[in-house]
């Protein structure tokens, strides 16, 4: 029994001996690295940050998850690291629609992938989280506390599709008969340099019906894409055999409406599909200063 009680003391003594030996680098000061997170209107945009730290060889060192409560107290994080060269990879808003690989021991930065948890399965992908990305390289050369800033940028684009005037919307539809919006040819993954990749994939955003306005609404966060892209958006009538009612070529729609993807800038693309007098038109939905619910 006495031996069992002595074991914790023995282990602690061994640990402390390493800290007070000749090589002080073996035990860096607690919280000797402070990372500050920076993005315009950060508290309104980012509600969680996942941080991965990798060494100069790209090997995983540690990872953290900082939730909203802690971000409200301090917009950053504290780390304890030995001297050396490091890279911090940060993802903002990685919730239930995000899977992060390589934020775990024995992994490497070059294998890091962001995807939806349904990617690679038979399940449909509805959307991504509204992701933000930050990367920062830094070096620790002494035992003194150092502070660095991680600058974030959007890693998503919002596509909002509004359907108005469809005859089926004039009745009280059961969810099984809601129209379907599918977005084709999206890149389903991105790496830790925020470069997207993967075979073109179809996403099926959830549909909501505004019964008062007789409008169907589909909102989807995608990973970033280029202005010259192969993306199409299709509207299907789910009540009559999934007939395709309308197809929007996103590249041409963006060209026609002077919409461009710009590095580091947030982008929302609001598309109105309007059925009227037997015709269908595709329009850029207009609103002032992008309210939560655009006027139609």
Residue 151: other Cβ atoms inside 10 A: 14
pLDDT at position 263 over 90 = yes
The answer to whether 82 touches 140, Cβ cutoff 8 Å, is yes
Domains in the chain (CATH in brackets) are 33-154 (2.60.40.2100), 157-287 (2.60.40.2630)
62 DSSP assignment = E
Tokens of 135: 């990367």
Burial of residue 95 (CB within 10 Å: 0-12, 13-18, 19+) is exposed
If pLDDT is split at 50, 70 and 90, which confidence band does 148 have? very high
Whole-model pTM: value is 0.88
pLDDT score of 182 more than 90? yes
Tell me the pairing of strands 33-38 and 48-55. Answer: unpaired
pLDDT at 112 (0 to 100): 98
Strand order in the sheet with 196-197: 99-101, 113-115, 189-191, 196-197
What tens digit of pLDDT does each residue of 272-290 get?
Answer: 999 998 899 999 997 643 3
Asked if pLDDT for residue 173 goes beyond 90, the answer is no
Q: Confirm if 85 and 139 have CB atoms less than 8 A apart.
A: yes
Distance CA 16, CA 27 (A): 9
* pLDDT > 90 in the chain, percent: 75
pLDDT at 136 over 50: yes
Cβ-based burial of 229 (10 A; exposed 0-12, middle 13-18, buried ≥19): middle
């Amino acid at each position: 029994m006495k031996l069992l009680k002595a074991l914790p003391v023995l282990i602690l003594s061994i640990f402390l001996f390493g800290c007070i030996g000749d090589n002080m680098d073996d035990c860096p000061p607690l919280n000797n690295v402070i990372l500050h997170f920076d993005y315009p209107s950060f508290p309104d945009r980012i509600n969680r940050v996942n941080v991965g730290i990798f060494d100069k060889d790209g090997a995983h060192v540690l990872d953290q998850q900082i939730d909203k409560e802690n971000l409200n107290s301090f917009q950053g994080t504290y780390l304890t690291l030995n001297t050396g060269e490091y890279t911090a990879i940060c993802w903002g808003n990685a919730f239930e629609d995000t899977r992060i690989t390589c934020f775990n021991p024995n992994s490497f930065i070059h294998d890091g992938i962001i995807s939806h948890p349904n990617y690679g399965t038979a399940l449909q992908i509805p959307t991504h989280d509204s992701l933000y990305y930050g990367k920062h390289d830094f070096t620790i050369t002494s035992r003194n506390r150092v502070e660095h800033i991680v600058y974030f940028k959007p890693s998503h684009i919002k596509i909002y599709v509004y359907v108005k005037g469809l005859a089926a919307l004039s009745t009280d539809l059961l969810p099984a008969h809601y129209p379907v919006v599918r977005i084709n040819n999206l890149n389903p993954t991105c790496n830790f340099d925020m470069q997207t990749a993967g075979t073109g994939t179809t996403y099926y955003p959830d549909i909501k019906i505004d019964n008062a306005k007789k409008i169907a609404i589909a909102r989807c966060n995608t990973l970033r894409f280029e202005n010259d892209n192969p993306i199409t958006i299709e509207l299907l009538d789910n009540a009559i055999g999934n007939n395709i009612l309308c197809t929007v070529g996103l590249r041409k729609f963006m060209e026609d409406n002077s919409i461009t993807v710009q590095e580091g800038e947030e982008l929302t693309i609001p598309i109105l599909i309007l059925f009227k007098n037997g015709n269908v038109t595709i329009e850029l939905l207009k609103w002032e200063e992008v309210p939560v619910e655009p006027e139609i």
